[in-house]
Amino acid sequence: MKSGPPMDGDRFQEALTAWAARGLAGRLDVAATARLLGFAEHDIQILLACGKLQPLGDPAPNAPKWFAAIEVIQLAADRDWLHKATREVSRYWRYKRQRRAKPAAI
């Protein structure tokens, strides 16, 4: 996850308030991250592959992924990040549909 400029005091307090209001833990699993960002669970893998999200620690490819709640809240409030992430997911699915539509060459 590319970190942007640090949050100012007001934005940080808003993020903490949102975090507390939702009763979120410090770490979120894929399902909670997807719900908070407004993506499908299977789209989180796409966001990981393109570098828009970064899990905590250094998990193995087949290990469960965890995300920092405060960072996910910050991303959910960032319109530019949401735009870019949505564009990446759309690009992935468009490319996948195009590959399926092409007949196999003999």
What pLDDT score does 50 carry?
Answer: 93
What pLDDT score does 31 carry?
Answer: 95
- Strand pairing report for 27-28 and 67-68: antiparallel
Q: What is the rounded CA–CA span in Å between residue 26 and residue 47?
A: 20
Classify 15 as helix, strand or coil: helix
Q: What is the rounded CA–CA span in Å between residue 39 and residue 32?
A: 10
> What pTM value is reported for the model?
0.74
Q: What is the rounded CA–CA span in Å between residue 58 and residue 51?
A: 14
Strand partners, 28: 67
Q: What is the pLDDT of residues 74-87, one digit of tens each?
A: 899 899 999 999 99
What pLDDT score does 58 carry?
Answer: 92
